[in-house]
Amino acid sequence: MSRRRHIAPHRLVDAMSGRASEREAARIERHVAGCARCAGARERLVRARAAMADIAGQGGPELGWDHIGVRVYWSTSSARHAALREKDHAWWRQPPVTLVAGLGLAAVLGFALTRWSSPTGPAVGGDRPPLAATPPPTPATVVPPLHGVVTFVSGAVAIDGGAPRPHVDDGDVAALFGGAIVEGTRLRTGEGRLVVQFGPDSGFALAPRSSLTLHHFDDRTVELVVEEGAVEVEVSHRRIDQRFSVVAGRHRVSALGTAFQVAHRAGDLDVQCARGRVVVSDGSSQVALSAGEQLQVLEQSLLARALRQAIDRHRLAALERSLARPLLPVWTESQALFETSSTVGLDAPLGRAVRVDGVDVGSGSFSLRVMSGRHHVEVADLNGAFEGGAWIDAGPRARNEARAGADGAVRVLGPGAVEPAPAPAGLPGAPPPSDAQSAARAARRLRHGQLVRALDDSARARQCMTPLEKRDLVAGSFVLLDVGINADGSQGHLNVLSGNVPPEVERCLRAVVDEVELPAGPAAVVRYKLAF
């Protein structure tokens, strides 16, 4: 029988589903009865139709709904913000408004020239009252207050407005780290630094010899008043209804989502913008600063006459390093954070750089808040190299102590000491393997294998690399992670130890690993290198 006379598959389906006429259906039936090929095709199509019915009845898989919801929220709120800005920019394009604005501008110029030539006019940069801190917008509903937490302390500090003093004993440190920073708190530093975090990727660091008051500190308005000294700020993108500003004398520095430094010493203002964009205003004029720009306004000069200038690259790099404050992962409620974090007090030689989990966190002696879990502490030796290190098992609400010698060797004191160290063989500081470690090693191998299987060829991880893919920088990129896996398969801690990708890519990859769910099994701490 020639192929031309076989029944086309879609006609077989028509006959099966009653779409063909009776006569046509009978003809098809007669043909199929005598044609093995068409009979086979019909059988396969019956199965395919059943599969299609199964597909039609399928529900969707469970996804990370909260995570998606947050991303949707951010995307749409940013879009709304962009639309509003577009609207703001567009008003002057309308011809009648342009005419009115032109007339108004001419009138203002005329008035200004008259005042300029008047001998009784005010002196340039004369005494002006400090810019009054604005009241927060009248809330339609109760605005939840923000709670900051201290994440880093070195040297002499005070969080109650008193005289700065070193916090050395356990009680002092517990008082510093155990309370929430709320609206109205006055922070002061002597020869020390103080870092406060108040939300995901948002925090500020008070430089030595500085004082600052949290004038407003709620979900809608954050207003930090710098009385003296410098504050470095890193703030995540604000919602359209949120305001963030630093007030320094008569100037206000407003930001949407950025990293910048405001120094206010003896009346002079110095604003340096590392990322994003800030606007400096004095009530009558405004100057916008983009990333990599600096503005210096002397006390006796006008903001409108101050010049913007580019920050030289060495200074910018130093600023970026300085802004890289130890920020905790996302948290929503300060009390929960107090319950799940602990502090590490490190006594290291003056000026020695210190890394925790591969991240530069400071130098010399300081106290640091860390999430509970296992952390690797390294101190630079005399040559600035990180040759040694030690592990600290930081329990919740615990105070852990470590001391570093001149050679950079770190010794953990008290209950946080990890004996034997859990580092894989070959890691500096790891003790020689023993029989007692074999079970732990097997558990690590098992868990590592599970992580590899879960993440190998992960489309989500590849998607994180999109920014690098565009620049053809994917090959050779990696992130080294330290993952604590509990017996029930959940992740106890997840730290980024090192990597060579930008922070946003690193955050994305970390989030991907964070979402991996493993089966129940032995608890283990593993190092996983996500390499491309």
> What is the contact surface with other proteins in residues (CB under 8 A)?
8-10, 12-13, 41, 44-45, 47-48, 50-52, 54-61, 63-65, 67-69, 71-73, 75-76, 79-80, 457, 459-460, 463
Closest CB to other proteins among 86 and 419?
Answer: 86
Closest CB to other proteins among 83 and 109?
Answer: 83
Q: In angstroms, give the least distance from the CB of 154 to other proteins.
A: 40
Q: In angstroms, give the least distance from the CB of 40 to other proteins.
A: 8
Q: In angstroms, give the least distance from the CB of 464 to other proteins.
A: 11
- The encoded tokens of residue 238 equal 């604000």
Phi, psi angles (nearest 5°) of residue 134? -75, 145
Q: In angstroms, give the least distance from the CB of 20 to other proteins.
A: 13
Q: Give per-residue burial for 497-531: e unless 16+ CB within 10 Å, then b.
A: bebebeeebbbbbbbbbeebebeeeebbbbbbebe
Closest CB to other proteins among 385 and 531?
Answer: 531
Closest CB to other proteins among 45 and 324?
Answer: 45
Rounded to whole angstroms, how far apart are CA atoms 286 and 280? Answer: 6
Q: In angstroms, give the least distance from the CB of 155 to other proteins.
A: 43
Residue 302 near residue 286, CB atoms below 8 Å: no
Closest CB to other proteins among 57 and 162?
Answer: 57
Closest CB to other proteins among 56 and 350?
Answer: 56
- Choose among 251, 280, 252, 285: nearest CA to 108: 285
Rounded to whole angstroms, how far apart are CA atoms 290 and 340? Answer: 38
Sequence-distant (6+) residues with CB within 8 A of 139 are 220
Q: In angstroms, give the least distance from the CB of 248 to other proteins.
A: 33
Name the strand (E) or helix (H) holding 85: helix 65-90
Closest CB to other proteins among 12 and 354?
Answer: 12
Provide the 3-class DSSP secondary structure of residue 393: strand
Q: In angstroms, give the least distance from the CB of 509 to other proteins.
A: 15
- The encoded tokens of residue 343 equal 């502090």
Rounded to whole angstroms, how far apart are CA atoms 374 and 377? Answer: 10
Tell me the HSE value of 200 on the side-chain side, using a 13 A CA sphere: 8
Closest CB to other proteins among 49 and 305?
Answer: 49
CA 77 to chain centre: 18
Give the C-alpha distances (Å, rounded to integers) separating 199 from 230, 395, 499, 528: 21, 22, 24, 28
Closest CB to other proteins among 52 and 105?
Answer: 52
Provide the 3-class DSSP secondary structure of residue 323: helix
Q: In angstroms, give the least distance from the CB of 265 to other proteins.
A: 42
Q: In angstroms, give the least distance from the CB of 65 to other proteins.
A: 6
Closest CB to other proteins among 370 and 508?
Answer: 508
- The encoded tokens of residue 90 equal 């567009």
Q: In angstroms, give the least distance from the CB of 361 to other proteins.
A: 33
Q: In angstroms, give the least distance from the CB of 62 to other proteins.
A: 8
- Choose among 323, 326, 322: nearest CA to 370: 326
Phi, psi angles (nearest 5°) of residue 358? 80, 0
Closest CB to other proteins among 24 and 270?
Answer: 24
Beta-bridge partner residues of 531:
478
Give the C-alpha distances (Å, rounded to integers) separating 216 from 224, 226, 385, 410, 414: 7, 13, 43, 41, 40
